Structure 1
Amino acid sequence: MDIQNERRRLLDAEGAEEESPGGLRSEQDAYLDKVKNGKLYLAAFASVLGPMSFGFVLGYSSPAIPELSKIADPRLRLDDVQASWFGSIVTIGAALGGLLGGWMVEKIGRKLTLMFCSLPFVFGFTVIITAQNVWMLYLGRALTGLASGVTSLVVPVYISEMAHERVRGTIGSCVQLMVVLGIMGAYLGGLFLDWRWLAICSSVPPTLMMVCMCFMPETPRFLLSQGKRREAEEALRFLRGPDAPVEWECARIEDASDEQGSSFRSADLKDPGVYKPLSIGVMLMMFQQLTGINAIMFYAENIFEQAHFKDSDLATVIVALTQVVFTAVAALVMDKAGRKVLLIISGIAMAASTTAFGVYFHLMDQAHSNASLSLLASEPQGPDVHADLTWLALASMGVFITGFALGWGPIPWLIMSEIFPTKVRGFASAVCVLTNWGAAFIITKTFQDLMNLLTSAGTFWLFSSMCAINVIFTAAFVPETKGKTLEQIEANFRGTPAL
C-alpha cells in the first residue's frame, strides 16, 4: 500500500488540512494519540526478564566466591587464581555470545533468539548446581556468560524495534534497570542462601522469560524485512492496540526499508548511514568500560570496611540498591531530558568523583609514608587517617554510582539499539557487544597491573581523564535520538530527508 495514501487516510480521519512541511510531525502525533501501550509494556516486561537473568549472572560470583573459597570439598574449593577465573570467564562467554547473537537475530529473528538464549542460562546454572569439580563451575559460568552476551544484544534490539518514539527511551532504559535489579537480587539471595540454592533461584528469571515470550510477537521491522506484511500488521496491532491505524506505520517502515535495501553487504560499510553510527556505537561501548566502573566496584568492599561497615555483604546490597534507584530515575526522565544531556551530566559527575578518588588514594599513600617515618623515628602517631578520609571515599563512590546509573550505564545500550539501520542491526550490534565485553575482560584482568604501574591515585586519575573525554565525545558526536522514529534517526545519518 502506498505510503502517501496511508498519510491521507490518517489526515482525513483527523480532519486535517492539506499536508504541510511540518505535516509528518502532526501525522505522528495523530497516530500516537490513538496508541494503547498496555500490551507493549507486557512485551517489554517479558523481554527484560533476559537482562534480569544477566544481572543474576553478574551478581552471583560476589556471594558465591567467598563460600566456594572455604568449602570443605577440595574438588570444588577455589584458590585466588581460580576465583578470579570464576568471576571473569563470564566476560569471555559474553563476548562470544555477542557474536552468536548478531548472527541469530538476522537468521531466526529477535523473538526466537531471545527464547533460545534462555537455554544456556538454565543449563549453565544447572551445571553449577550439579558441579563435581572446578571445571564444571567454569563451564556453568561460561554458558551463563554466553547467554548474557546474546541477551545484551537482542533485548535492546527487540525493544527498540517494537516501541514507538514516545516511550522508547523509558522502556529501553529498563534493560539496565533489570540488570541492576538482578545484581541486587543475587546479593540479597546471597545473604540467606548457599551457592547451590542461589543458582537455583538464579535460573527462575530465564525460565519465566522463555514461557512469557511464547505469547509475545516478533518485531514488525524484522517481519517486514522478511516480506511478511500481514504478520507485521498483526504484530503492530497487538503492540499498538485496536484503535491505531497500523497500516500507516507499516507503510512508513516499508518505505524506509525499500530505500536501504534488504540485505547487508560488506560494501555497505562505506555508507555514512552505516559507518557513522557503527563508529559511535563502538566508541560508546569502549568509553563505558573506560569510566572505571569495575575499579569502583572492586574497591567498594574496602571502602565500606574503612567506614566501619563490618558486614561487606550488606555493603554490596547498598551499592546495588543505589544503582537500582538512580537507574529507575534515568528511565523516568529519559524521554524528557534526552540521551545526550544525561550522558554529559553523567560523564561530568564521574569525572569529578574519580578525581576525588585519586585525591583520596594520594592522601592515603602520603599518610602511610608519614606513619612509617614516625615509626622509624619512634614518634607518637597522630589520629587515624582512615577515619578522617573515609567521608571522601564514601562521597566519591556515591557520586560515581549515581552518575553511572543516570547515564553511562543504561544509555550506551539504548543508543546502540536506536542508531543502526535494520539491515545491519545484527552485525553492528554484535560488533558493539563484542567491544564492550572484550574491553571489560581486558580492563578487569589488567587492572592490578595498571595499579602497580601508575599507583592507585594515578589509575583513578586516568579514569577521570577518560570520563572527561567521554563528555567531549558526547557533545561533539553523539546525536540526540529523543522523540525520533528509528527511520528518522537513520535518515539523519544518511543525510537524506526523513519520511
Structure 2
Amino acid sequence: MSSSADVERGDSFTEARIQLQIQSAENNVGESTGHPWMVYFCTFIAACAGYSSPTQSAITEELQLSEAEFSLFGSILTFGAMFGAITSGFIADYLGRIMAMKLYALFCTGGWLAIYFSKSSLALHLGRLAGGYGMGAFSYVVPIYIAEISPVSLRGALTTLNQVMISTGISIAFLVGIPLSWRALALMGLIPFGIMLLGLLLTPESPRWLAREGRADKFKVSLQKLRGKKTDITLETAEIEIGVGLMIFQQFGGINGICFYASNIFKMAGFSPKLGTIIYTFLQVVITCVGATLIDKLGRKPLQLVSAAGASVGFILVAVAFYLQAHGKSTETAGILAATGILVYVAFFSIGLGPVPWVIMSEIFPINIKGLAGSLATLVNWFCAWLVSYKFQFLMNWSTYGTFFIFAAINALGFLFVITIVPETKGKTLEQIQDAINN
C-alpha cells in the first residue's frame, strides 16, 4: 500500500503534480452541468455528527450533583473534545477521513449509552467524556472532509451545513427535552450516529486525501463518484495563525456560557425561561441556515464582521440589563432588555462567528500540514470552550454585568482581528487560497 512517503520521494504523485492536477480538476468541475447529488449526500452524512444535548437540570437532581459537579458535567464534554482535537488530525490523516468518522461515531454512541445507563456521577461523566472526544474529533474532520469533496462554488455553503446540523440538533434537544426525561434524550442522541454509520458505508473517501497517499486509481473513482459520471475530471484536491485566532474569538466570545446556562440567564433576568429558550433555538437554526445561503454570495469576511459587531452589541444590552437589575432600577425593563440582548447575540453569532471559522479553517490549511494545523486549531477551540463553560458560573457569581461587558469587549476585539488578519476565500480554489496567503 502506498503512503505519503511516495509523494516525498518524488514518484509519479509528487506534491507539485498533485496541486496542479487538483486545480485543473476544480476548473473542469466548474464547467459541469450536472448536479452534485453525491456531494450533497456525503455532506449530510458527515454533518450528522452535529448533534448535541443541553445540560439537563433533571440529571443533577436525580444523581444529586453538587454545584461543582454540575460545572464539571457542563464542561467535561469540552475537556474530552480537547483530547479528540489533539488526535483527530493524525487519525484522519493515517486512516482516512471516512474510517476516522466511523471511529468517532462509535465513541459518541458509547458515550450516549453510558449516560443512559448511568447510576452515578462517575458513569455520567465518563459517558460525557467519551462523547466529547468524538465531538472534538468530528469538529476537525467533518469540515475538512466536506471542503475536500465540494466544488468551489458550493464549498462555503456545504461546509456551513455542519454548523446548521449542530444548531438544529441543539434546538431539537432543547425542545424535546421539555417533555422527555434525560435518559430518553440520551437515547435520542444515538439516532444521528446510527444514520451516520450506515451512510458512511456508501460515502466515498476524500479525493484529496487519496491523492496525497498516492492512490491514483481510487482517487479517480472517488472523484468521479462525487462529481457524476458525465463530469470531465482528471484529479482534484493556508495559515495556522488565522485558524487559531478565529477559534479563540469564537469561544471566548461566550457562546458556550450562553449555550449551557441560557435557561438560568433568562430566569435571573426575570424573563420566562421556556419562552426565551424556544425563541433562542428557533433563531439559532433559522439564522444559521440564512448564513449558509449567504456565505458563498457575500463572502466569509463580511459575515464575520457583521456577526462580531452584532454579538458585541447583544452582550452590551445584557450587561446594561444586569447592571440596572443589580442597582434596583427598572427590573421589568431589565428582564426584557437582557432577553433581547441574548437573542441578538445568538442571532448574530449564528450567522458568522459560529460557522465561518470552521469553513475558513477547512480552506486555508495546505494539504501537507492539514492534519497538524487542523488539530491545533480544533484543540484551541475546545480548550477555550471548556474554559468558558467551566468558569462561566463563577464569573456570574462575581459580577453578572461585568461578565457580559467582558464578552462584549472580546467580540469587539474579534471584529478588529477579522478586519486586519483574516483573508477572503470566497470563490477561490483551495490552491488559489494557499497561493494568496503565501504571497
TM-score scaled by structure 1?
0.80
Which one of the candidate residues 51, 58, 81 is aligned to 1:94? Answer: 81
Counterpart in 2 of 1:293? 255
Counterpart in 1 of 2:390? 445
Counterpart in 1 of 2:201? 214
Q: Residues 28, 121 of structure 1: CA spacing in aligned structure 2 closer, same or farther, 3 A cutoff?
A: same
In 1, Cα distance between equivalents of 2:58 and 2:119: 15
Counterpart in 2 of 1:44? 43
Q: Secondary structure at the match of 2:177?
A: helix
Q: Residues 234, 29 of structure 1: CA spacing in aligned structure 2 closer, same or farther, 3 A cutoff?
A: closer
1:239-250 pair list within 5 angstroms = 239-247=226-234, 250=235
Q: Secondary structure at the match of 2:231?
A: coil
In 2, Cα distance between equivalents of 1:362 and 1:203: 42
Kindly provide the amino acid, as one letter, of the partner of residue 210 in structure 1: L
In 2, Cα distance between equivalents of 1:94 and 1:287: 18
In 1, Cα distance between equivalents of 2:253 and 2:339: 18
In 2, Cα distance between equivalents of 1:443 and 1:164: 36
Does 2:97 correspond to 1:110?
Answer: yes
Residues 303 and 390 in structure 1, CA contact (< 8 A), matched pair in contact too: no
Q: Residues 171, 220 of structure 1: CA spacing in aligned structure 2 closer, same or farther, 3 A cutoff?
A: same
Counterpart in 2 of 1:464? 408
Kindly provide the amino acid, as one letter, of the partner of residue 491 in structure 1: D
Counterpart in 1 of 2:292? 331
Which one of the candidate residues 317, 325, 348 is aligned to 1:364? Answer: 325
Which one of the candidate residues 302, 305, 312 is aligned to 1:351? Answer: 312
Residues 26 and 152 in structure 2, CA contact (< 8 A), matched pair in contact too: no
1:46-195 pair list within 5 angstroms = 46-52=45-51, 55-56=52-53, 59=54, 61=55, 63=56, 66-71=57-62, 76-195=63-182
**Displacement of 1:433 after TM fit?**
0.9
In 2, Cα distance between equivalents of 1:108 and 1:2: 19
The gaps in structure 2 that reach 5 residues or longer are 1-11, 18-22
Using the aligned pairs only, state the percent identity.
Answer: 34
Q: Residues 452, 155 of structure 1: CA spacing in aligned structure 2 closer, same or farther, 3 A cutoff?
A: same
Counterpart in 2 of 1:270? none
**Displacement of 1:346 after TM fit?**
0.5
Q: Residues 468, 69 of structure 1: CA spacing in aligned structure 2 closer, same or farther, 3 A cutoff?
A: closer
Does 2:350 correspond to 1:395?
Answer: no
Counterpart in 2 of 1:417? 362
What RMSD over aligned residues (CA atoms) do the two structures have, in Å? 2.6
Which one of the candidate residues 366, 386, 401 is aligned to 2:331? Answer: 386
Q: Decide which moves more: 419-428 or 317-326.
A: 317-326
Kindly provide the amino acid, as one letter, of the partner of residue 95 in structure 2: I
Counterpart in 1 of 2:4? none
Residues 32 and 232 in structure 2, CA contact (< 8 A), matched pair in contact too: no
Does 2:32 correspond to 1:33?
Answer: yes
Kindly provide the amino acid, as one letter, of the partner of residue 291 in structure 1: G
Q: Residues 224, 442 of structure 1: CA spacing in aligned structure 2 closer, same or farther, 3 A cutoff?
A: same
In 1, Cα distance between equivalents of 2:331 and 2:268: 7
Does 2:433 correspond to 1:489?
Answer: yes
User: For residues 132-170 of structure 1, what are the alpha-carbon distances to aligned partners after superposition, in whole Å with 9 as ceiling and x for unaligned?
Assistant: 322111111111111111111110010000001100111
Residues 306 and 387 in structure 1, CA contact (< 8 A), matched pair in contact too: no
Q: Residues 406, 201 of structure 1: CA spacing in aligned structure 2 closer, same or farther, 3 A cutoff?
A: same
Kindly provide the amino acid, as one letter, of the partner of residue 288 in structure 1: Q
Residues 421 and 490 in structure 1, CA contact (< 8 A), matched pair in contact too: yes
Residues 306 and 386 in structure 1, CA contact (< 8 A), matched pair in contact too: no
TM-score scaled by structure 2?
0.90
Does 2:353 correspond to 1:408?
Answer: yes
**Displacement of 1:117 after TM fit?**
0.8
In 1, Cα distance between equivalents of 2:302 and 2:188: 38
**Displacement of 1:319 after TM fit?**
1.1
The gaps in structure 1 that reach 5 residues or longer are 6-23, 254-272, 369-384
**Displacement of 1:82 after TM fit?**
1.9
Residues 105 and 197 in structure 2, CA contact (< 8 A), matched pair in contact too: yes
Greater C-alpha Rg: 1
Q: Residues 197, 88 of structure 1: CA spacing in aligned structure 2 closer, same or farther, 3 A cutoff?
A: same
Residues 74 and 260 in structure 2, CA contact (< 8 A), matched pair in contact too: no
